[in-house]
Structure formats: C-alpha cells, structure tokens
Structure 1
C-alpha cells in the first residue's frame, strides 16, 4: 500500500486488522517496530515512522516487538504488475532461495545479473535481497525460539544460517538479545515430539471450506480432514514427513504440527503452506470488490473469507487436474488414489490411512505408458500424463508461485491434451494467479446461466483482478446447493 504517514497513523490508532501486514511502524523512543494491530500503548505521531515491510524497518535500525511479533504478520499478496519481477524474486527469497544458492543463481532465473536484481529489489522494497533474506532467517529463528523447544543450533540451521556463530552474532547485533533469552525460564518439555509453526492471516478465513475443498480432491492416503484438522504427507527434496493443521480463530492463526523429519526444510515448508492455504489474501479488499456484483454479494455474505486453495506441489496439482478432465470430482479422486498407491512412496505417520506420498514427476516420467494406462486412463490421457511429467522433471515446466505466469501457461498449453480449462485451473491454484478463470467450466457456466465461455468471460470482466475468487464462490454455491 502507498505509505501516507498520516493515514497509517489513523489505521494504527484504530488497530485496524485490515492493515495488518501492509505496513509496520517504528517507534523512535523504544527502537522497536510493530504491526498496526499491536496492543501496546499508543505512541505519539512524532515518534512514528512507517515501513512497507519488516526488512525495511530493521534496515532503519529497529528490532521486532516481542508482543505483537512481526514474524506472524500476514504477507502482502502480489498485485502490482510493475513490481512483478521484484515480487517473484522476493517470493523465492522467502522460500529460502538464498539459503540454497547465491545471488547470481537467483538472478539468472530472471535473466538478470545479480547487480540488476539487487538494484530492482532495492528500488521496489527499499532493501537489498541479502537484507531481505537475513530478516527472513532471523524472524524464522525468532518464531522457533519463542514457540518451540528446539536446540538453538537446530534452529540456526533450520532458519538458513550457515553457522551457529553467525546466527548468534546477527541475532544479538540486530535484536540486542541473546537467542536463549527469548525462552526465559521455560523448561524444555520432553513430550514435545513435533515442530510447531504458526501462520498469520487476515480474517475472515473460511477454514472449513478451504480444508474440505483440498481433501475432497485429494486421496485419503495423502490428505485427510479429521474433526477440523487438516492432515497430509509431505515431500520436500530428500525430506519426508507429515503435517497436522488447525485454526485458531481468536488469534487469526493456523497452527501447524510438523514431523521432526522436516526440520531441515522449515523455510520451504512455511512458504509452501502459505501458498497452499492462500494466507496472503486480503478478504476485505477482495470480497469488497466482488460484492459490487449483486449475485456474488449474496454468496460472499453467506461465505465470507473464502480462499483460493493453492497446492503444496505444482506437479501434483497439475496431475490431479489432468486426471480430473471431463469426469466427476469423485472419479478423479479415485484415479489419483490409484496413482498414489502405485507410484507414490509409502510413509509412516501417526494417522490411520495417511500412509503414502503423492507420485513425483521423476517417477512418472520414467514409468511405462502401459503402467499409467493400467491405473484407469485412456492411452491418450496417459500420454498427456507422461508429457506433463517429462516437462516437469526436465525443468522446462515450472509450476510454483515464483515462476513466470506467462511462461508457465504457455508451457502448459504446449502439452498435448492440456487445453484452456486445465491451463487456467492450474494457473489459479499452482501459479497463484488471482485472475485465472476457467471459463469453460460447466459448473461456472450453469451457475451464471451461460451457454458459452465467451458469455461468462464477458460477465466476469467486472470481477478482475479477482476472478479466481469469484470462481471459488460459484463452485462453493454449487457444492452446497445454496
């Protein structure tokens, strides 16, 4: 958001949750920066300075508030196309790109030099990519120190630091605290066998609809919903494990329990979960825009805070989309379950029936056409699956929010058997395009009393740039019958 200091101060006085994550306030007399919802005593206007992100506040010399905890603030959804490259680069940094590679490697993904990328990010965000990565690592470490009993060394490495010495030095110099001081006199609990994470979101969040949408289109051996708790198996690189997610409505958080095996990839896990649950959406802005349409207004009133479910893995989502072409959701779920049990690796979890990982691109790219056909596909559909897996395995098809949207959609369209509906659906969920819209979807056509995709596209003009959210409301209406 544009940082107009007087407007920011009015939002700060109101402690308006709609501005949480859109800016941070630094207070000169304390040297601390806070979220606009912080419950501390209101500072005077002359003591406040405002920043668009946590890294900018820290670059100005402020340290994070221990009460409102800036690391739990919801992020800002990418909207401004003029900032597209910078936003994509920052998304990659948030997912740990600079922990796994250097600036030259990251810049090459955008066909830039490291100097060009540094200048671009600095211009748009006010800080360098290295400063952003450093703040991300420190805030991740701060959350783990506060919310878990993990060893300091484990936290340092899990947060992306190359050494404990470097972590301790930065934490002390930046936050003026010894890392262990955050824990006070708490005694380590020997019963703690899982990793605890918290994800902040802007309320409202229709958690029930979100979790149900995900599990109804998955396979019980990979994803389940048990009494409001979302469960799924996880693969990130060589790490395998599971998560269990519940909602804390009072604090506006999702609470995640993760298996200890995922400790080495916590930064990537956190980024993927934010995408999976669409944590960076601003429902006040989105619902307010869509409610100008009379039909959508009634649906939004009935289901406020509806999110666009993302995906934990782009290839997995694309595979599901191909398997679900021109068949019912139930039939597609059955097919995907067969693929998981045959091509996916078994895994042990504490939950009954949650015992397989979904198949990865490499495995399906190496599978024979006959093996794929025998899972219940036509030969033509099996060839599409093979081509999709081959493109993903080779790296010519990237399906994640950090990928270039136009390139991703073009690469999908080049695969025989993938048409406009599949491309838009994958863009909507895997590429995080808030304006994606599968106009040929039969449910959407029926909901809007249209007979041709061109008709519904015309109706959806006014819904831009939030057409994906409009689609979710119309699908939700069809699934509930109301």
Structure 2
C-alpha cells in the first residue's frame, strides 16, 4: 500500500469534511466511515477520524483509493502497483477534492468582521470546501437531487447506479459511476421507469450525459462557458449551476442565493435578500456559504450514521424552485 500524507496550510477540521461526504455518498460508489462514538466526538481532546473509499479514474484506469481524514491531517492510500504518474494524478485530485491548497488567512480577513459569520469562523477556522472528484457524477446526482429530499435524491442515485452498473458480489465492493457515453445512449423513457424521476428530469439527465460524452470538461474549460453550456440544458437552472460551480468548478465566489438552507441560515426568504447580505463577502462567498451550510446541515453527524445508505435523511443544500 502506498500512503501519502497531504500537506495543508492552517487548521483542518475532520468533522465537517466527514459530514459533507456522508451526506452525499452514493451507495456502491463511495463509502464514508467515521471512527469513534458520539461521546468521543463531544470530547474536545479527542481527534475526529474517518475515511472515504471510492474508485478514481486515473488516466483511464479505475483505482481504488482510501482517503483518511482526522483533525489536522489528510492522507491518501493507493495500491502499490499504481505507477508514479497516476499516483501524482491521485494526489492532485484529492488535494482539489478537499481544498487542501486553501490559505484561510485571506478568507478570514474578508469574512471575519461579519457578525453572522464571525462565530462560525471562530468555531471552524480551517473549514474547507468539499469538492467532488468526478464532475460527471456530481452533475448527474445534483440534477437527480433537484427539488427533492436528501433521502429521495439518494434513492434515485442508487437506482441509477444499479441500472447502469453491474451488480458485484461481496460487501464493501465499489463500482465506478456509469460512463457518460453509456447514459447518453439511454432511452429517457427507460431511465424514467428505472429510477422513478419525471420524464423531464430523465430527458435532462440524458442531455447532460451527451454533453459530457461529447467532451465537456468542467475542471479544465472556461468557467463562464461551462456555466452557459449547463444553463442551456432544459431542466437546469441557476441553483444547479451555482452549486456545481462551488463543488466542481472551484469558483470561490459562487453563491446559489436561491438555496433554501442558505436562506434559512441567513433568516431571509428571497434570493435577492441573500444576494444583498453577501455583497460584502466577495470574492469568498463560497466559503461563507459552506460555513452556513456546515452549521445548518453537516455537523453534528451530517448523515454519518447512515453512511452510504440511500434511505438516510437529513438536511442538504436545497433548490427552491426549478423544473
């Protein structure tokens, strides 16, 4: 086993990372586990520890990786037979996934004077934005989760994986998320029946898969072009695009102002009110967003008790309206 300790600047808090991971882990694709008991978590002298396991596509090869997370550190484990070039690809992907290149100083300098955010920054000064290692998976599961509860979104995601990915024997086995080319070739009506979404949502999923199959690469392409391309898909609106901008594009000023969890955390009822309150947080609105989401949804627990279980409930960032 190859083990890499990944460096970072400033403090690093495991609890919100594990909470966010568990809230969005998809059965058979990603497994998030936490070590220790709730009582141990309440003990400030005890380090929170956990891990996430999944397959990473490293230059066309699906490699099982384990990322171990604890207060103050992140490490990456890969099989010994992975070549050096792919090890570096994995290192880069995991650093981006967990925002390990963040220097919290600039974020605190901009956000620390806001009375809404100051207590959250003081409680979690090293909060990182949890991204996603697979842009296609992130896009598809986000669309499946539009306007439904976390439980329903994860049920749709589990059905989607079961429909396209072969069932394999043995507890703990992982499968890759279905390829864009496979989903792009699907009949929307068949997809609708298989996973239980509306016909409009099934057509949106197939059209989105076609974009990725045709070469859409949100990580490497111009963010403005990616936003415009996604918005042109029937069934995708501003909330979805801004959410993906935070978790996939790495836009640290992205801000889905229509999000219901965000609005509740701010004590407002409209997107325009949320926008106005956040004007002074530029260019770091995504960090303010993640502090508010974390406070409302991801800790304590954040769904960790139901790791990988599509039946789990809980609060997640939620689109107010849409297709």
Change (3 A) 1:480 1:244: closer
Task: Look up the match of 1:436.
Answer: 254
Q: Does the 8 Å CA contact 2:131/2:250 hold for their aligned counterparts? A: yes
Structure 1 contact 223–232 (Cα < 8 Å) conserved: yes
Is the helix fraction higher in 1 or 2? 1
Structure 2 equivalent of residue 372 of structure 1 = 191
Q: Aligned pair 1:393/2:213, yes or no?
A: yes
Distance 1:331 1:354 in 2: 23
C-alpha distance in 2 between matches for 1:303 and 1:331: 30
SS, match of residue 102 in structure 2: coil
| Aligned with 2:55 (options 233, 255, 263) | 233
* 1:198 aligned onto 2:5: yes
Alpha-carbon distance between aligned partners in 1 of 2:117 and 2:214, rounded to the nearest angstrom: 41
The residue aligned with 1:255 is: 75
Gaps of 5+ in 2: 36-49, 301-323
The correspondence for 2:284, drawn from 449, 461, 466, is 466
Query: For 1:291, which of 108, 112, 119 is the aligned residue?
Result: 112
CA RMSD across the alignment: 2.1
Contact 1:202–1:279 (Cα < 8 Å) also in 2? yes
| Contact kept? 2:135, 2:218, Cα under 8 Å | yes
Q: For 1:295, what is the secondary structure of its paired residue?
A: coil
Aligned to 2:66: 244
Structure 1 residue 481: Cα displacement = 7.8
Aligned equivalents of 2:273, 2:208: Cα separation in 1: 31
Deviation (angstroms), 1:303? 2.3
Counterpart position of 1:455 = 273
1:83-139 CA-to-partner distances (Å, cap 9, x unmatched) read xxxxxxxxxxxxxxxxxxxxxxxxxxxxxxxxxxxxxxxxxxxxxxxxxxxxxxxxx
Is the contact between residue 76 and residue 91 of structure 2 (CA under 8 Å) also seen in structure 1? no
Distance in 1 between residues matched to 2:210 and 2:163, nearest whole Å: 18
> What's the secondary structure of 2:195's corresponding residue?
coil
For the residues of structure 2 that align with 1:433 and 1:289, how far apart are their CA atoms? Answer: 16
- Find the aligned partners of 1:377 and 1:405 in 2 and give their Cα distance: 29
In structure 2, relative to structure 1, the CA distance for the partners of 1:260 and 1:343 (3 Å cut) is farther
Query: Is 2:146 aligned against 1:325?
Result: yes
Deviation at 1:369, TM superposition (A): 1.3
Q: Which has the larger radius of gyration?
A: 1
Q: Is the 8 A contact 2:25 2:32 kept in 1?
A: no
Mean CA deviation greater in 220-229 or 268-277: 220-229
* Paired residues of 1:340 and 1:359 also in contact (CA < 8 A): yes
Contact 1:365 1:393 in 2 (8 A): yes
Flag the 1:353–1:248 CA change in 2: closer, same or farther, 3 A.
closer
CA contact (8 A) 1:218 1:336 kept: no
CA gap of 1:276–1:480, structure 2 versus 1, over 3 A, is closer
Change (3 A) 1:344 1:261: farther
CA distance in 1, matches of 2:63, 2:115: 45
Tell me the residue number matched to 1:139.
none
- Mean alpha-carbon deviation: is it higher for 316-325 or for 260-269? 260-269
Decide whether the 8 Å contact of 1:315 with 1:361 is kept in 2: yes
- TM-score between the two structures when normalised by the length of structure 1: 0.56
Change (3 A) 1:393 1:261: farther
TM-score, with structure 2 as normaliser: 0.82
Distance 1:289 1:279 in 2: 19
Equivalent-residue separation in structure 1 for 2:226 and 2:115 (angstroms): 34
Distance between the aligned counterparts of 1:221 and 1:415, measured in 2? 28
For the structure 1 residues 460 and 361, does the alpha-carbon distance in structure 2 shift closer, same or farther, using more than 3 Å as the test?
Answer: same
Q: Which position in structure 2 is the counterpart of 1:168? A: none
In structure 2, what is the Cα distance between the partners aligned to 1:420 and 1:262?
Answer: 40
Relative to structure 1, the CA distance from residue 414 to residue 246 in structure 2 (aligned partners, 3 Å threshold; closer, same or farther) is same
Q: Evaluate the alpha carbon distance shift between residue 300 and residue 284 of structure 1 in structure 2; reply closer, same or farther with a 3 A threshold.
A: same
